[in-house]
Amino acid sequence: MNIITITDHLSGSTARIAPELGFNCFEFKAVIGNQTIDVLDAVPGFEQGGQKASGSGIPILFPFPNRIRAGKFSWKDQEYVIPGTDKWGNAIHGLCMDRPWRVVRQSDDFVTGQFQLSVDAPERRSLWPSDFVIEVDYELVRSRLRARFRVSNPGSVQLPWGLGTHPYFKLPLGKNSSVESCLVEVPARQRWELENCLPTGRKLDLTDDNDLRDGAYMSRLKLDDVYTDLNFDGPQFDCLVVDERAGLQVTLTCPPIFREIVAFTPPNRAAVCLEPYTCPTDAVNLQAQGMDVGWRVLGPGQEFHTWIDLSAGPVIA
């Protein structure tokens, strides 16, 4: 298995990426002074293959994040069926998370992976209305890991799409700390009502059990929720994982195209997932019902760019 390590030589921060496993960045160690924060969680031996593609590091979810109901949708009067893989028979997490990507650029602190549906998974080309290319850059700058995304349509028809990532954040952040001293913060005012992990179309106000706006301790959270109606000022927003005892935090920074955040507490695991999505679960079918859900379309020859940052450091009061 080819594993790529990128390094910021000024700080010593490192990240490891597995191109053959969906270009998954499964390790990010941020160095701040003489302290190293192990940011991402991965199951032991993930980089050797044979593990669940969505269960470690940062899976890349494209051309749809999360689920499509029963794997079925209609686009331009044509029906599509993607084989269901969750326990309810829904298609889940896109078409490129579990396939090898090609490395097209690389330096000491930078690497770019590329996936084209017709080239890298030709057996799946008939499952989506258009061919697509997605490129992802990972770059280290001190204690910051920046991901840049480029989506392009090389086909002759419209490309419908949504994008998400599924990062697993390791808890606690400090060696002498505990999960109980960690909290998560998401600036969302509502969440989608879910039935069997699929949105009903209704949005719900938050309760004491799931309101993360002021930070909520991991000890009282059991989450698998799609948050929406993000409230922030400026051109970007932050979600936080804070270890109070260690005095450390991890910050997930996104532009507003990422209009949903899925918060998930994986069972029997010292980790939490804060997943930025450009649209909610089953967005292609919700849009067909007339809802504004952020489902996007690229015309032939068009390209779209966006980004996500992960940074680690001392708690900012």
- Helix, strand or coil for residue 111? strand
Report whether 238 contacts 252 (CB < 8 A). yes
pLDDT tier, 85 (very low <50, low <70, confident <90, very high otherwise): confident
pLDDT tier, 104 (very low <50, low <70, confident <90, very high otherwise): very high
How high is the pLDDT of residue 86?
93
What is the DSSP code string of 220-264? G---EEEEEEE--SSS-EEEEEEETTTTEEEEEEE-TT--EEEEE
Q: What is the pLDDT of residues 31-79, one digit of tens each?
A: 999 999 999 999 999 999 999 999 999 999 999 999 999 999 999 999 9
Q: How far apart are CA 235 and CA 56, in angstroms?
A: 29
pLDDT tier, 122 (very low <50, low <70, confident <90, very high otherwise): very high
pLDDT tier, 84 (very low <50, low <70, confident <90, very high otherwise): confident
pLDDT tier, 3 (very low <50, low <70, confident <90, very high otherwise): very high
What residues pair up with 230 in beta bridges, in sequence order? Answer: 188
Please report, as a single letter, which amino acid is at residue 209.
Answer: D
How high is the pLDDT of residue 48?
95
- Neighbouring CB atoms inside 10 A of 54's CB total 19
Instruction: Provide mean pLDDT across the span 85-108.
Output: 97
Report whether 286 contacts 293 (CB < 8 A). yes
Q: What is the pLDDT of residues 239-259, one digit of tens each?
A: 999 999 999 999 999 999 999
Could you state, in order of their start, the residue ranges of all structural domains in the chain?
Answer: 4-314
Cis? peptide before 83, omega within 30° of 0: no
How high is the pLDDT of residue 1?
86
Report whether 184 contacts 241 (CB < 8 A). yes
Q: What is the pLDDT of residues 162-174, one digit of tens each?
A: 999 999 999 999 9
Report whether 177 contacts 164 (CB < 8 A). no
pLDDT tier, 262 (very low <50, low <70, confident <90, very high otherwise): very high
How high is the pLDDT of residue 196?
96
**How many Å from the N-terminal Cα to the C-terminal Cα in the chain?**
42
Residue 317 has pLDDT above 90, yes or no: no
Average pLDDT, the chain: 97
**Which of 240, 246, 212, 236 shows the shortest CA–CA distance to 311?**
240
Tell me, letter by letter, the H, E, C secondary structure of 69-89. HHHEEEECCEEEECCCCCCCC
Q: How far apart are CA 144 and CA 306, in angstroms?
A: 16
Residues for the chain: how many in total? Answer: 317
Residue 19 has pLDDT above 90, yes or no: yes
Return the CATH fold of 4-314.
Beta-galactosidase; Chain A, domain 5 (2.70.98)
Q: Name every residue whose Cβ is closer than 8 Å to that of residue 11 and which is 6 or more positions away in sequence.
A: 30, 31, 32, 142, 143
Tokens of 269: 């695991």
Q: Name every residue whose Cβ is closer than 8 Å to that of residue 189 and which is 6 or more positions away in sequence.
A: 205, 206, 213, 229, 230, 231
Q: Name every residue whose Cβ is closer than 8 Å to that of residue 33 and which is 6 or more positions away in sequence.
A: none
What residues pair up with 312 in beta bridges, in sequence order? Answer: 250
Q: How far apart are CA 43 and CA 56, in angstroms?
A: 6
